[in-house]
């Protein structure tokens, strides 16, 4: 019996990637596809890479269209998910790919988003301690942000094993699809090709409190995160470099052992062999996470680095992985660890 | 009962893409993997995107290693396939991803490759008239070149329907993976990013006789092809622009009708709706072919354009598609028409 | 005594490139800079690479602002130049970087632009036969389109020497800056990186009649041009591949001799040594044109290829070169043949 | 009276960029050009963007060839500069673009390079406190590494003003030209396009002691630097993100004031207006440095970011700037702050 899935916000990059994955999911049947300003348009025009859906026409994002599905994915601007979820009722699995239900602290939400907090849903990063249990059987899932996915996976083992001091410094490079499909001058190909540039420097990026939440939970103490995102000249991928002072007694060996243990049974997270470093190209289009960790003895610091595909593991793949858990399916169904490279 | 497949030349781009596809093929079990200078190395180092095979170590390309498989794929330098195939015997399906058995005319081979002609095998481009019948049940397959795949699919309908004069002009842009993984200065990232450049101009590219062979067969008359390949700043993809004078009486409608008919039942070739043009990004990592055709009334010419992924439909995907036919499997098994975009 | 220059449309790519060149021009002093929707903004925000002008604020494009200069460059949407030029009076050198005054045939203009024809000004491609004489001392200059610059320079020698049949086939790849700075979804970095795609296929691109005009003049007979433009994943550069049947008796030697003669005294056009082919990276940021030509004996065709920087020689550099001629300055002042590579 | 300059190592990226700049330098005449394995080749083949030098043929790097110049630039593999400099004698200005004479501490050199220390020459980063005086009139110059140039300029003001704690964390992204022109598989275009990846993680990159040297000198106390370099999919450019805990009492205002003061009279370093961030595209091909600084109040950290062109300010531009000082010329001769963008 197939799981019938609707996608609200099917014309953007997150929606398109989700459809790419759902088309290959053996248990999912694609139902309603909706858009906002793009309602009425052919998907073949909006997402020309999704040939099997080329003749589908987007419906408007209204309750009648989204009703009658087992799962509804929301790829909506923030602030809109709560109302839609309420209309769908408590028995439908709602997977929110936006930010609305990620944060536990209402004050954090209000500081970073400037609107009332909608609530907190089980957090769709199964690899975090305790996360799987909360997702299994859940009817609500908050899919993590793309940067927090990469950063949390790169760095939680160091905090969970009490190896890192609670002041994290993170510099991450993202492909341009992370900035979405709305055309803005600084996102033009002419502007981004050949250019690296930072943005949201100084703690103002909205993904910051989400990283703090995850690393603090792992550390069982408050962790500060100084986060600098940069825009890289590539369509996809996040490379997150995470650094913190090592606690006394940490060695390269104890560090590596903690990471090996954290990811031993994880289907998607691969701690690379020593000497090999993550590359975003290697995880292009896959749900895999490549992680490596090093101890900088001279500086006394831990450096952990993760590469993900921001649209797959960082958004739509993470959503499908969590959906699988919520529905009691094999967590890896419809997902791959094989990248499309070169 | 799984089909057991060996890959000779698993460290290059063609071999890597083939493994990516075979890993997702429901009927194939991956057997021996061999390399030449890379024998003894971990695949995780050579192909870091193929995480499920990371711990496999390449064997040398010798008969004992390749024996005992149902299918052997050869991704070898040209001139080496005949000897390997002979050793494997007539009952093993041998799929040659190199050039050795593509050409029917021995003189063409000798002109373009400067060595004795090894022979001609059934040609692995099922969409060409008559090709499927020759592939079904065959124990030998010559996988087409990447450029001839794009050009033949873009232009054979115009010739098969006798709409085009027999003098074709082709300009094609290829991603850099088409030039292989051997490091050469002009293929450095520093050189290719931001640059378009032609090569092999004036009829000297080795794929030229293969295009002539395919279009002449479709036209049932000799067709000349003036082919200009260009190197484009992208890792994958071919965009082939094909032009010829229209025969008297051709109209935009008759042209479109011929293309619609040619591809009506093809699972991988999509004639785009009028007004939409192919883009290599849309077929990235997929076996799909996007085709569009226009009639330039002022110049009296037909322009047909195809986009493929040079490594998938242009090499490894075409190989798998033909293997499926040779083994009596569903032609589309293990292949997708969904691109990884953006 | 410096030449005082105003730039109307200083916020776009053409205007920005022009300012980059004028800043390095030993005889030019930069005067008024105007914008339309960007009037009132700092140039440091709009053109962050022009550090010496960072604190300049754009004025509105009105007659009072543009008055009192020796030269006024117009980088305006088409249809607006005539009115501005009239206000400036006949003694001011007006260099129109738009399309309004390029075409000689009013019917062509109306067909391709759908508005009344404004007139014809001396055409700013000095390398064309007779063009320099028309530019020297002129008070009006129509700067050619970027594609026609590349195509005309690549192919006029074959026509001027009566070596090519009058049916040209042109496929050209352009960097994305050719499409301008107005943000549109298909020009997003996420869309263009990794993608080659055609547009305006079938003779509908507005630069077509301009190519026909130039090649027909060189040939002294009507030449048809079947032109296919493609968008390439790079910010700058045009690679134009031009093909035509050779007239009887043409040889590789006669072809090369014609090209050598055509460009012998040209400061910016370099016929490359045999065996070397143009690359857009080599002319990045320069006014140089790299040209190479080959005779495809099997197909009986001439293939001529040019690489230019679409913003420099294709727009702003061509404008400065023509301005130099009009003002009686050394034609090469402020321009370079040295590319910024890699 | 022109300065006659020789370039040893003219076929690589550093040598090519140097020639690009020297060709535009009003006081320099280009003399001998030498290569190692490329001796005897035309520069037009090796550096096709340097059209004015296309017909020059490389000489071997031997004393007779390099003799008789006012300045000799060395772009040689490390370990070779001392012997060449000795042969040239004390009256010739020798500008070493390699690493040999950058470090003051012989033990650092031996640790990172594994060979005897050749010595220490005046350090060619004029913007550092006291550096100009040492360069003026000097006959020996050690050009800084590309990463240390970006990092030192981004971060020395924070240390010179005693605002930052002495534990720096640096993550920098570099274009691929920083890795040189020797073809290696991981530098192929197919590998680097679409990919971000780190290397030399954990304090092992050879530029680390140079950063420590510069920041420690500015701080007048030992500063540790934990440095992570990453390879970015672009040919040129470095974006360096530098972070350190703020000392007690630091405010956004005091931080900004320190930076404004440090760069007030610098011709090449531009502290951007608040809210604008550096982009490597903006300094492409120029000697400019774009710097911005922020105070992350929540984390109590300073984040300073610089963008440079690794080949210009990071190598050849820095060399020319220092040569100008050594020769008593205007420091900015032959250099620009105008980038080639987009």
Residues on chain B touching D188 (C-beta within 8 angstroms): 176, 181, 183, 187-189
Task: Give the distance from residue C237's alpha carbon to the nearest chain A alpha carbon, in angstroms.
Answer: 11
Residues on chain A touching D237 (C-beta within 8 angstroms): 194-196
CB-CB: which of C175, C181, C189 is closest to A192? Answer: C189
Please report the pLDDT score of residue C287 as a whole number: 98
- Look at the block and give the residue holding tokens 């920098």: D172
Residues on chain A touching B272 (C-beta within 8 angstroms): 44
- Percentage of chain D beyond pLDDT 70 is 100
Q: Does residue B41 sit at the D interface (CB-CB below 8 Å)?
A: no
Mutation target vs A (from D112, D168, D169; most A CBs, 10 A cutoff): D169
Please report the pLDDT score of residue B247 as a whole number: 98
In this structure, are residues A312 and A334 in contact, taking their beta carbons and an 8 Å threshold? no
Task: Give the distance from residue D285's alpha carbon to the nearest chain C alpha carbon, in angstroms.
Answer: 6
Q: Does residue B285 sit at the D interface (CB-CB below 8 Å)?
A: no
Please report the pLDDT score of residue D1 as a whole number: 61
Q: What letter does residue C139 receive in the DSSP assignment?
A: S
Which other chains touch chain D, taking contact as 3+ CB pairs less than 8 Å apart? A, B, C
Q: Are D237 and A305 an interchain contact pair (Cβ–Cβ within 8 Å)? A: no
In this structure, are residues A72 and A95 in contact, taking their beta carbons and an 8 Å threshold? yes
In this structure, are residues C59 and C65 in contact, taking their beta carbons and an 8 Å threshold? yes
Tokens at A188, concatenated = 């033009």
Question: Which 3 state secondary structure label does DSSP give C45?
Answer: helix
Task: Give the distance from residue C49's alpha carbon to the nearest chain B alpha carbon, in angstroms.
Answer: 18
Please report the pLDDT score of residue A1 as a whole number: 61
Q: Are C198 and B239 an interchain contact pair (Cβ–Cβ within 8 Å)? A: yes
Q: Are A239 and D196 an interchain contact pair (Cβ–Cβ within 8 Å)? A: yes
Q: What is the pTM of this model?
A: 0.98
Residues on chain C touching A197 (C-beta within 8 angstroms): none
Please report the pLDDT score of residue B1 as a whole number: 62
Distance in angstroms (rounded) separating the CA atoms of residues B32 and B26: 18
Residue with the bigger pLDDT between A77 and C288: it is: C288
Among the listed residues D335, D275, D329, D274, the one whose alpha carbon sits nearest the alpha carbon of residue D308:
D335
Task: Give the distance from residue A49's alpha carbon to the nearest chain B alpha carbon, in angstroms.
Answer: 4
Backbone φ/ψ region at B276: left (φ over 0), alpha (ψ -120 to 50), beta: beta
Task: Give the distance from residue B66's alpha carbon to the nearest chain D alpha carbon, in angstroms.
Answer: 27
Please list, in sequence order, all residues whose beta carbon lies within 8 angstroms of the beta carbon of residue C286, skipping any fewer than 6 positions away: C309, C312, C313, C317, C335, C336, C337, C338, C339, C340, D49, D51
Q: Does residue D243 sit at the A interface (CB-CB below 8 Å)?
A: yes
Please report the pLDDT score of residue C110 as a whole number: 96
Distance in angstroms (rounded) separating the CA atoms of residues A258 and A154: 12
Among the listed residues A280, A319, A271, A246, the one whose alpha carbon sits nearest the alpha carbon of residue A153:
A271
Residues on chain A touching C234 (C-beta within 8 angstroms): 193
Mean pLDDT of D140-144: 98
Mutation target vs B (from C171, C174, C284; most B CBs, 10 A cutoff): C171
Q: Does residue D194 sit at the A interface (CB-CB below 8 Å)?
A: yes
Max CA pair span of chain D: 62
Distance in angstroms (rounded) separating the CA atoms of residues D38 and B35: 32
- How many inter-chain contacts (A to B, CB under 8 Å) are there? 98
Distance in angstroms (rounded) separating the CA atoms of residues A122 and A133: 9
CB-CB: which of B228, B279, B294 is closest to C197? Answer: B279
Please report the pLDDT score of residue C69 as a whole number: 98
Q: How do residues B228-251 score in pLDDT, each as one tens digit?
A: 999 999 999 999 999 999 999 999
Mutation target vs D (from B11, B188, B340; most D CBs, 10 A cutoff): B188
CB-CB: which of B181, B194, B234 is closest to D185? Answer: B181
- Percentage of chain A beyond pLDDT 70 is 100
Residues on chain C touching D50 (C-beta within 8 angstroms): 338-339
Active-site amino acid positions of A: 146
Question: Which 3 state secondary structure label does DSSP give A305?
Answer: strand
Q: How do residues A148-165 score in pLDDT, each as one tens digit?
A: 999 999 999 999 999 999
Active-site amino acid positions of B: 146
Please report the pLDDT score of residue C274 as a whole number: 95
Q: Does residue C193 sit at the D interface (CB-CB below 8 Å)?
A: yes
Q: Does residue A193 sit at the C interface (CB-CB below 8 Å)?
A: yes
C153 backbone dihedrals φ, ψ, rounded to 5°: -70, -35
- How many inter-chain contacts (C to D, CB under 8 Å) are there? 98
Q: How do residues D297-325 score in pLDDT, each as one tens digit?
A: 999 999 999 999 999 999 999 999 999 99
Please report the pLDDT score of residue B271 as a whole number: 98
Chain D, 293-332: which have a CB under 8 Å from a chain A CB? 294-301, 303, 305, 307
Task: Give the distance from residue B236's alpha carbon to the nearest chain D alpha carbon, in angstroms.
Answer: 8
Concatenated DSSP letters of B49-104: TBGGGTT-BPEES-HHHHTT-SEEEE---TT-HHHHHHHH-TTSEEEE-SSTTT-S
Q: How do residues C59-75 score in pLDDT, each as one tens digit?
A: 999 999 999 999 999 99
Mutation target vs D (from B37, B41, B190; most D CBs, 10 A cutoff): B190
Residues on chain C touching D290 (C-beta within 8 angstroms): 48
Tokens at A218, concatenated = 């792992």
Q: What is the ipTM of this complex?
A: 0.97
Residues on chain D touching A250 (C-beta within 8 angstroms): none
Q: How do residues B27-80 score in pLDDT, each as one tens digit?
A: 999 999 999 999 999 999 999 999 999 999 999 999 999 999 999 999 999 899
Mean pLDDT of A297-308: 98
Please list, in sequence order, all residues whose beta carbon lies within 8 angstroms of the beta carbon of residue A39, skipping any fewer than 6 positions away: A58, A59, A60, A61
C110 backbone dihedrals φ, ψ, rounded to 5°: -65, -35
Please report the pLDDT score of residue D94 as a whole number: 98
Residues on chain C touching B278 (C-beta within 8 angstroms): 197-198
Q: How do residues B239-292 score in pLDDT, each as one tens digit?
A: 999 999 999 999 999 999 999 999 999 999 999 999 999 999 999 999 999 999
Q: How do residues D240-283 score in pLDDT, each as one tens digit?
A: 999 999 999 999 999 999 999 999 999 999 999 999 999 999 99
Q: Are B190 and D233 an interchain contact pair (Cβ–Cβ within 8 Å)? A: no
Q: How do residues C287-328 score in pLDDT, each as one tens digit?
A: 999 999 999 999 999 999 999 999 999 999 999 999 999 999
Chain A, 120-179: which have a CB under 8 Å from a chain C CB? 175-177, 179
Which other chains touch chain A, taking contact as 3+ CB pairs less than 8 Å apart? B, C, D
Please report, for residues B5, B317, C155, D147, D283, the alpha-carbon distance to residue D237 in angstroms, rounded to integers and kept in the order given: 45, 37, 36, 10, 8
How many CB atoms neighbour CB C86 within 10 A? Answer: 12
User: What confidence tier does D15 reach under pLDDT thresholds 50, 70, 90?
Assistant: very high
Q: What letter does residue D1 receive in the DSSP assignment?
A: -
Mean pLDDT of A60-89: 95
C171 to chain B: nearest residue by CA? Answer: B171
Task: Give the distance from residue A192's alpha carbon to the nearest chain C alpha carbon, in angstroms.
Answer: 6
Helix residue ranges, H only, chain A: 13-23, 43-46, 63-66, 81-88, 106-113, 131-135, 146-160, 189-192, 208-219, 252-263, 317-327
C108 backbone dihedrals φ, ψ, rounded to 5°: -60, -50
- Look at the block and give the residue holding tokens 């974006």: D239
Residues on chain A touching B288 (C-beta within 8 angstroms): 51
Mutation target vs C (from B151, B240, B241, B242; most C CBs, 10 A cutoff): B241
Mean pLDDT of chain B: 97
How many CB atoms neighbour CB A301 within 10 A? Answer: 24
C176 to chain D: nearest residue by CA? Answer: D342
In order along its 342 residues, chain C shows pLDDT tens digits of 699 999 999 999 999 999 999 999 999 999 999 999 999 999 999 999 999 999 999 999 999 999 999 999 999 998 999 999 999 999 999 999 999 999 999 999 999 999 999 999 999 999 999 999 999 999 999 999 999 999 999 999 999 999 999 999 999 999 999 999 999 999 999 999 999 999 999 999 999 999 999 999 999 999 999 999 999 999 999 999 999 999 999 999 999 999 999 999 999 999 999 999 999 999 999 999 999 999 999 999 999 999 999 999 999 999 999 999 999 999 999 999 999 999
Please report the pLDDT score of residue C1 as a whole number: 62
Q: What letter does residue B177 receive in the DSSP assignment?
A: G
Question: Which 3 state secondary structure label does DSSP give A238?
Answer: strand
Please report, for residues B5, B172, C158, C307, D51, the alpha-carbon distance to residue C269 in angstroms, rounded to integers and kept in the order given: 54, 25, 15, 10, 10
Distance in angstroms (rounded) separating the CA atoms of residues A238 and D252: 29
A278 to chain B: nearest residue by CA? Answer: B48
Active-site amino acid positions of D: 146
């Amino acid at each position: 019996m197939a799981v019938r899935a609707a996608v609200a916000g099917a014309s953007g990059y997150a929606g398109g990637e989700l459809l790419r994955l759902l088309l290959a999911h053996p248990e999912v049947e694609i139902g309603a596809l909706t858009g906002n300003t793009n309602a009425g348009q052919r998907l073949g025009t909006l997402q020309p890479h999704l040939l099997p859906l080329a003749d589908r026409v987007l419906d408007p994002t209204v309750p009648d269209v989204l009703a009658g599905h087992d799962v509804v994915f929301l790829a909506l601007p923030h602030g809109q998910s709560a109302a839609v979820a309420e209309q769908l009722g408590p028995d439908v699995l709602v997977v929110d790919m936006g930010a609305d239900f990620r944060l536990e602290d209402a004050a954090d939400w209000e500081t970073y988003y400037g609107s009332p907090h909608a609530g907190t849903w089980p957090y769709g990063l199964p690899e975090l301690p305790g996360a799987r249990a909360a997702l299994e059987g859940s009817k609500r899932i908050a899919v993590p942000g793309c940067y927090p996915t990469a950063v949390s996976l790169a760095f939680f083992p160091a905090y969970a094993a009490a190896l890192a001091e609670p002041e994290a410094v993170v510099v991450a490079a993202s492909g341009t699809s992370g900035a979405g499909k709305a055309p803005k001058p600084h996102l033009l190909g002419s502007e981004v090709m050949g250019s690296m540039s930072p943005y949201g420097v100084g703690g103002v990026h909205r993904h910051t409190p989400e990283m703090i939440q995850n690393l603090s939970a792992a550390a069982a103490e408050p962790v500060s995160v100084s986060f600098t995102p940069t825009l890289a000249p590539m369509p996809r991928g996040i490379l997150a470099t995470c650094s913190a002072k090592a606690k006394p007694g940490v060695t390269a060996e104890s560090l590596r052992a903690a990471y090996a243990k954290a990811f031993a049974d994880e289907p998607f997270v691969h701690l690379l062999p020593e000497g090999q470093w993550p590359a975003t190209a290697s995880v292009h289009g896959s749900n895999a996470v490549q992680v490596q960790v090093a101890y900088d003895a001279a500086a006394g610091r831990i450096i952990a680095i993760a590469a993900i595909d921001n649209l797959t593991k960082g958004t739509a793949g993470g959503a499908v992985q969590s959906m699988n858990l919520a529905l009691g399916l094999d967590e890896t169904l419809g997902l791959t660890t094989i990248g499309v490279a070169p």
